[in-house]
């Protein structure tokens, strides 16, 4: 409306010799800017949108919303969950094997989880360790770690084989996620081929259609 309607109305009013209201003049100026500099307006809007989204996700609330959304995604959510837990188990196993205490190891792991929900769960686990409790309960309650895996952590903790159990968990999840990725890649390959074929077909049709019509008009 600003680009199409307002300029026409303004032109008709100006033809009568009347002066445009201030607000109408502002709209006409805006219309002229949008018409003449629409490319820069679009680029600016996109940049502003990306910056706003990035800034929002950098806040604690935004990061929490983002991570909950990612974990709830069909197909990709479980895969992301496996990667997060695998990274957690692998890092914690390595740190414990290097001789760090459980509390110090969890402090480091909390910073490399890459997920706000998991970060909170690891911090809670560290607090429980410092108070003399177990680490499996807060991990299970986070909703990120599967109850079966949390049970394996609890068993490893009670048996004194937590480092080995964590390594096993990490290896199993890594192998499982690799299989899922391979299957997704295999499933998406024909879809990508079909999409590319459709795009190429549309381009070819749009290119040849004027030539065909021109040729038909010659005979």
The answer, as to whether pTM is greater than 0.85, is no
The residue ranges of every structural domain in the chain are: 5-57, 73-178
How is domain 73-178 classified at the CATH fold level?
Receptor-associated Protein (1.20.81)
What's the distance, CA 7 to chain centroid? Answer: 41
Distance CA 86, CA 107 (A): 17
Question: Which tens digit of pLDDT belongs to each residue from 5-16?
Answer: 555 665 655 566
Range with lowest mean pLDDT among 122-126, 137-141, 167-171: 137-141
What lies within 8 Å, CB to CB, of 212 at 6+ separation is none
């Amino acid at each position: 409306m600003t680009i199409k309607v307002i300029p026409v109305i303004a032109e008709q009013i100006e033809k009568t010799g009347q002066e445009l209201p201030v607000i109408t003049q502002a709209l006409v100026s805006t219309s002229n800017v949008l018409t003449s500099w629409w490319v820069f307006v679009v680029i600016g809007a996109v940049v502003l949108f990306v910056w706003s989204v990035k800034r929002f996700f950098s806040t604690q609330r935004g990061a929490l919303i983002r991570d909950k959304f990612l974990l709830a995604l069909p197909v990709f959510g479980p895969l992301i969950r496996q990667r997060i837990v695998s990274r957690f188990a692998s890092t914690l196993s390595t740190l414990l094997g290097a001789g760090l205490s459980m509390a110090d190891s969890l402090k480091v792991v909390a910073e490399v989880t890459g997920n706000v929900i998991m970060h909170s769960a690891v911090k809670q686990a560290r607090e429980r360790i410092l108070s003399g409790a177990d680490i499996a309960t807060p991990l299970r309650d986070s909703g990120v770690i599967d109850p079966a895996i949390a049970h394996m952590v609890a068993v490893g903790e009670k048996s004194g084989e937590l480092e080995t159990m964590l390594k096993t968990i990490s290896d199993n999840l890594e192998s499982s996620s690799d299989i899922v990725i391979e299957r997704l890649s295999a499933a998406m390959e024909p879809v990508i081929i079909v999409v590319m074929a459709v795009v190429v077909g549309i381009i070819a049709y749009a290119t040849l259609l004027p030539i065909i019509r021109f040729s038909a008009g010659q005979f």
